[in-house]
Amino acid sequence: MVDLSNLFLGKTAPNPTVLASGFMGVTGSSLASAAKHGAGMVTIKSLSLEPRKGHKTPVIVGFDGGMLNAVGLSNPGVVNGVDELKIAKKKAGVPVIASVFADSVDNFAKAAAAVMPAEPDFLELDISCPNVDSEFGIPFAADSKAAASVTTACKKAVGSVPLIVKLSPNVTAIAPVAKSVEAAGADALNCINTLKGMVIDPVARRPVLTNKFGGVSGPALKPVAIRCVYECYKAVKIPIIGTGGVSTGKDAVEMMMAGATAVGVGSALYYRGLDAFKLITSEMKTWMKSEGFKTPKELVGLAHQS
């Protein structure tokens, strides 16, 4: 019999899937709904110290291989976010991940400390959003030292709550960044955030998105995400959430074989609906049974043995 229950940083989830930040996780009720629809863990949309409107529409466009978004990190701010996280903690029934972002190391630490009253199971540091460069400058994830500085500051701010650092594919080499945040105290990685891209309307002769650039998600991102997970798994000893383009059970298996302990799911909700989590885990279970695997742990890192 296949048992999909999954241990991640000391917490047991019913399966390896994780609601990725930014999808459905705007309120405590939406986080609980994602859990009800099969998510093994849930992540709230990233929060900043102050409320943020984000970018002007249009902010999302589809293309043949996926989606491009430049929502611009819109959120209600940490004060309101704490209330929503508390609701999620009561209703979700699965591990809840808080997520924060900021424009400086000090503000990252302040935002991290500000969400602690909600008692999240984990805290994710979004140091890698690709579509706010014009406002925040180069993402912290683009530089090993900067990424380590944020990790160190937030580690001090949150005490014993495990830190997950979300890395960027928009770098020449991701492994050195992974190693630097691990050394700075990160308890886990999330690989990866979206890939910076652009879509142009040839009739209008200009970029479709108001922000011009956006983050690529969906199937087009999967090979990049798997490569990043693979490289990070070789470089660090801490667990990894593999995020990017996972839409099917086989996608999830592939991500775990690259080295992921858990698997982020986001754009699949657009393609497969709210039942994406149940569909993915059902397909995982069917495949694992046919191949003789009993637990997700058996899959982690298998591609490194070939």
Find the catalytic residue in 129, 154, 191, 232.
129
Residues contacting 88, CB < 8 A, separation 6+: 28, 31, 32, 42, 44, 96
Ramachandran region of residue 143, left (φ > 0), alpha (ψ -120 to 50) or beta? Answer: beta
The architecture in CATH of the region 6-52+73-194+218-305 reads Alpha-Beta Barrel (3.20)
Residues contacting 34, CB < 8 A, separation 6+: 19, 24, 25, 42, 92, 274, 277
Q: For each of the chain's 306 residues, which pLDDT tens digit applies?
A: 999 999 999 999 999 999 999 878 889 999 999 999 999 999 999 999 999 999 999 999 999 999 999 998 899 999 999 999 999 999 999 999 999 999 999 999 999 999 999 999 999 999 998 756 545 668 899 999 999 999 999 999 999 999 999 999 999 999 999 999 999 999 999 999 999 999 999 999 999 999 999 999 999 999 999 999 999 999 999 999 999 999 999 999 999 999 999 999 999 999 999 999 999 999 999 999 999 999 999 999 999 996
pLDDT attached to residue 132: 61
In 3-state terms, what secondary structure has residue 160?
coil
Place of tokens 């996972």: 246
pLDDT attached to residue 75: 92
Which 8-state DSSP code applies to residue 214? E
Judge contact between 108 and 153, C-beta under 8 A. Answer: yes
Judge contact between 97 and 121, C-beta under 8 A. Answer: yes
pLDDT attached to residue 287: 98
Distance CA 165, CA 168 (A): 10
In 3-state terms, what secondary structure has residue 181?
helix
Respond yes or no: is residue 129 known to be catalytic.
Answer: yes
pLDDT attached to residue 234: 98
